[in-house]
Chains A and B, each alone.
Chain A
């Protein structure tokens, strides 16, 4: 069974803290994605990666960075957390880049106070 896991389901951080969100997939997928989901705004793509050590900006990369040192792991980093980064963060992976068949993790609900 396809599986994408995320390091935390719920996280509370203070403004200015550096935050790491980790995602691991066990499907040997080349492509991995980070989205955030906010009420009324749908899912928005933050960053994606199509290979180890490769990364590309999505629609809203400001305030975020990513790291992909191993094929199965894709990390999202909030360099200095701000309250407007309070959101649900979703990781996904896929066999083909931009396929409409992506597999999502359970999400991390991050609250920045």
Chain B
């Protein structure tokens, strides 16, 4: 299971773009990169998943360089409601191991 490293915390002002980087140096060929968001006292919410290059949805973009040893979650124009913990997970999308959530990145958005 690929180990991930992400910053413990980040601060941002409202309206700014926020980029959270996750390092996963030993990512395997079949591994996908998945990001979850968790608000206090709520369950994690699936945000986005990708394998390579760039993936975009209505919530975020995920940038994955060619070597796939890192990835960046990009949140455009954050608001106070984006204050949450963001988790980066790396693993096979249909493998035989359960999800492993690390400590995540605590994003605080300031007015």
A residues engaging B (CB < 8 A)?
A: 4, 9, 33, 40, 42-43, 45, 48, 58-59, 88, 90-92, 96-107, 109
Contacts and interface: CB of A to CB of B under 8 A. Distances in A.
Contacts of A91: 43
A100 B43 contact: no
Given A90-B43, A100-B49, A107-B41, A42 B94 contact: no
Interface residues of B, number: 23
Nearest to B42: A106
Chain B interface, >50% SS class: loop
B91 A100 contact: yes
A98 B46 contact: no
Given A45-B98, A90-B44, A91-B43, 8 more contacts: A42-B100, A42-B101, A42-B102, A98-B92, A100-B34, A100-B89, A100-B91, A101-B46
B78 to A, nearest CB: 22
Interface of B: 32, 34, 41-46, 49, 89, 91-103
B102 A107 contact: no
B109 to A, nearest CB: 21
Contact of A43 (B49, B96, B97, B99): B99
Contacts of A96: 93-94
Given A42-B102, A43-B99, A100 B93 contact: yes
B90 to A, nearest CB: 8
A102 B46 contact: yes
A100 B101 contact: no
A35 to B, nearest CB: 8
Given A42-B100, A42-B102, A58-B98, A104 B93 contact: no
